[in-house]
Structure 1
């Protein structure tokens, strides 16, 4: 048993955390790799969750959230990352808003909060899939349920925090913290896009970094961790 003396020195016992990578057992090395959260185009998919007309006037930062999600979709198309789109009970909540730019994507209707049950076949047909980039609403409902289901499948989940929102900041921020506790990665759109391209010499880099699309500095990002919340 470790002992603690008056000088707060604890006797040393080896652990996975104290071992250099070369000394880690194979299962420890595998865990370290999966926890890095790297995002690669060939093993990633973009999920677009329920950005519909009925939510337009009730979701905090709705225009900014949709704008960032639209950029994520455009980048996904440039880099050949597949994208899937859902709509929650569209008969009552309306269609996907046009400014998302989702033409060509077939929206999948659902009533379950999680996107996973309705997209089960798509997920099963992609054995190479490792990472899901998740945008949409609401953070404490459909985004959270989807995240937990994806994590249970052993997939890495990357929440695009500047493309996810709720009707209240309390729900939004608490849901982000809850998903992080469960093992999801919290990332900005800019950070994920830079992971996908990896190199300024990428042939699509100029198109990806379209200066006509303002990304940084809008309120949805400034308040991701609660700064400036009234």
Structure 2
């Protein structure tokens, strides 16, 4: 099971025109929003990336607002792990369980997940918080990532697994977020 002390949320390339053109774009963005807010309450760090922002634009405004104060890791490689800066920041958090979200499932999310697994991280693919421009590529990416050894999860499943108990202020705050 994942715990707040061992987990990091990774948001991959939720940018500009790409973000609006993926399958179930609004649902995916809303789920990533919920994850970011829940992780803030539970003190789970968030790391986010942008693939060639000069061409694809920056992270969509609602998520960028939630992540204010943080600078995205810019990358050119499809895998986040191809960026030395990303790997430096990831290692600095000293977290083994990585909740993976973002775009596109069959390219950047897929390649990042495989490399994270190769580096010995436990990858938890948040299947309702990843997407591609087509449902077929989204599903193919999910299947291949799971086959490589990632654990599938959902927004609600991951948040309640991190929370563990249905009491206290954190539970009340997170319950409101999940119900939105």
How many residues matched? 176
Deviation at 1:115, TM superposition (A): 1.1
Match of 1:61 among 16, 24, 27: 24
Unaligned segments of structure 1, at least 5 residues: 1-37, 215-230
Match of 2:93 among 123, 126, 131: 126
Q: Does 1:150 align with 2:116?
A: yes
Cα distance between partner residues in 1 of 2:177 and 2:49 = 29
Cα distance between partner residues in 1 of 2:82 and 2:101 = 17
Deviation at 1:122, TM superposition (A): 1.6
User: Would the alpha carbon gap of residues 81 and 212 (structure 1) be closer, same or farther in structure 2, given more than 3 Å must change?
Assistant: closer
Partner of 2:56: 93
Q: Does 1:80 align with 2:46?
A: no
Deviation at 1:212, TM superposition (A): 7.4
> Is the Cα–Cα contact under 8 Å of residues 53 and 97 in structure 1 kept in the other structure?
yes
Structure with the higher fraction of residues in strand conformation: 2
Structure with the higher fraction of residues in helix conformation: 2
RMSD of aligned alpha carbons: 1.4
Q: Equivalent residue of 1:46, what SS? A: strand
Partner of 1:41: 4
Deviation at 1:171, TM superposition (A): 0.5
Deviation at 1:111, TM superposition (A): 0.6
> Is the Cα–Cα contact under 8 Å of residues 136 and 163 in structure 1 kept in the other structure?
yes
Bigger drift between 151-160 and 103-112 goes to 103-112
Q: Equivalent residue of 1:209, what SS? A: helix
Cα distance between partner residues in 2 of 1:77 and 1:115 = 22
> Is the Cα–Cα contact under 8 Å of residues 51 and 74 in structure 2 kept in the other structure?
yes
Deviation at 1:105, TM superposition (A): 2.0
1:112-131 deviation digits (Å, cap 9, x = unpaired): 0011232111222234x220
Partner of 1:52: 15
Which is bigger in relative contact order (C-alpha 8 A, separation at least 6)? Answer: 2
Q: Does 1:160 align with 2:123?
A: no
TM-score normalised over the length of structure 2: 0.93
Which one has the largest radius of gyration? 1
Partner of 1:107: 72
Cα distance between partner residues in 1 of 2:178 and 2:144 = 34
Partner of 1:223: none
Deviation at 1:56, TM superposition (A): 3.5
